[in-house]
Structure 1
Amino acid sequence: MKNLVIAIDGYSSCGKSTTAKAVAAALHYAYLDTGAMYRGVTLFLLENNIAFDDMPRIEQVLHDEIHLSFKRNRRTGRNELCLNEVIREDDIRQMRVSNSVSEVSVIAQVRHAMVAQQQRLGRKRGVVMDGRDIGTTVFPDAEVKIFMTADVEVRARRRQDELTAAGQDVPLPDIIENLRKRDHIDSTRAESPLRRAADAVLLDTTHITITEQVDFVLDKVSSALFAAYAHKING
């Protein structure tokens, strides 16, 4: 069976990561949370008091001091982000990181470094990646491209539930403001803006369950695999 690249792009808190993880598990594919990588860079800059406009310093730390990887948590089965060999999954989900990650993501040097890592990790294919520019920049030749969206208030409630479960009490209006700010920055940045690829299938998750989202993506994967098989048979 041909190994595919499955690109799942879209706005924050649409269910991208949860869906991508489930699809990867169903297909026995690798899963790569590209958003976590940008969060890892953001966390490092915040913790080391590096200004987001200090380009020489940012270039230096990207080259010499920031090492990102993923480690599978045996207890939960999740791939968790490691920053310099230390698992920082909970730390990168804090609101202070959420409030800054879009500002860091617009930095060209950061995007170039992350895209290069993502392309290297996905080179062997058989991978599900979720993010904001997977189908447009990282893997424009991905066989399956999904673009996810949802109503901002629904997304905010989902995000609030995640934060509450992690012990963070954040008012809903603050989360809505954060999401709208990130949407604007991500969609208008000069470097790899968030946009739907011309050949991406739109998936609105406002009124559907995670199971329905996963089934939707798996159906598109089945169609892509059938098309690849038919092409091979027909020469």
Structure 2
Amino acid sequence: MGFLIAVDGPAASGKGTIAAKLARLYGYPALDSGLLYRAVGVRLLAEGGDLSDVAAATAVARTLDPAELEKPEVRTRAAGEAASRVAIHTPVRECLRDFQRAFAAQEPGAVIDGRDIATVIAPWAPAKLFVTASPEVRAERRWRQLTAQGEAVEYADILADIRIRDERDSGRSDSPMVRADDAVLLDTSEMTIDGAFDAARRIVEAARANWSGN
């Protein structure tokens, strides 16, 4: 297997930006695993389905086309809420695990960000980061992002969403969002994007130095 960089953490912690920048630095393919669940939720709703319908959500996950991850609608606030709701269904997660594990095993390496990459998808990953920030900081980041996309949203509503998603993601019975025992904690609350990336790069470089695959 190649050198996998697993970047886990809650919504709007900065993990996606960090993962993308690490992928560019090392020339690795990158996967935002959250987009898989967003795409499932978006298509299920588009087909008139119910997000609580396990069978329907699983059917969508089973036939998901990776091209659906590129659609702009998967990056909306509604898509994020839908993702959090379908992600609690064990059969949905099972359908998407094989895809993620195959992506993780690429040579010479890959970067995946999500919530259970270092704990469930690829616990063997040589580099594991758990990126977080305070709910208030994350809510402001998400509010700015959605506003820039043209969505009319209120900060207070985004903060409420963040808290609900944190509880849902960390409290689900299958693959809850937890920091892996050997993952390095990176709190980006007081960091700029460049500062957070530099800290992440140093964590990865330390992992590369200790990697037996070198």
CA distance in 2, matches of 1:106, 1:172: 26
Structure 1 residue 139, shift from structure 2 partner: 0.5
Aligned partner of residue 100 in structure 1, secondary structure: helix
The answer (yes or no) to whether the contact 2:61–2:95 under 8 Å persists in 1 is yes
1:102 corresponds to 2:81 = no
Secondary structure (helix, strand or coil) at the match of 1:53 reads coil
Three-state SS of the structure 1 residue aligned to 2:211 is helix
Q: Does 1:227 align with 2:189?
A: no
Matched, 1:120 2:102: yes
User: Contact 2:6/2:113 (CA < 8 Å) preserved in 1?
Assistant: yes
Q: Which has the larger radius of gyration?
A: 1
Residues 1:34 and 2:43 are matched in the alignment: no
1:48 paired residue number: 47
DSSP-derived class of the 2:161 partner: helix
In structure 1, stretches of 5+ residues that fail to align are 70-81
TM-score by length of 1: 0.85
The letter of the residue matching 1:117 is: F
* Residue type at the aligned position of 1:180: R
Task: Give per-residue Cα distances to partners, 1:187-211, cap 9 Å, x unaligned.
Answer: 0000100000000010100001111
Whole-angstrom distance in 2 between the partners of 1:201 and 1:127: 18
Structure 2 gaps of 5+ residues are: none
> Which structure has the highest helix share of the two?
2
Partner of 1:66: 64
Higher strand share: 1
Paired with 2:92 and 2:40, the residues of 1 have a C-alpha distance of 8
Q: Which residue of 1 aligns with 2:141?
A: 158
Q: Which residue of 2 aligns with 1:75?
A: none
1:53 Cα deviation from its structure 2 partner = 3.4
Q: Does 1:186 find its partner at 2:164?
A: no
Q: Residues 36 and 61 of structure 1: is their aligned pair in 2 closer, same or farther, counting only changes over 3 Å?
A: closer
Matched residues in 1 for 2:200 and 2:29: separation?
Answer: 16
Cα deviation, 1:21-45, whole Å, max 9, x if unaligned, reads 0011001111111011110001011
Q: Give the Cα separation in 2 of the matches to 1:190 and 1:54.
A: 17
Structure 1 vs Structure 2 CA RMSD: 1.7
Fraction of identical pairs, as percent: 35
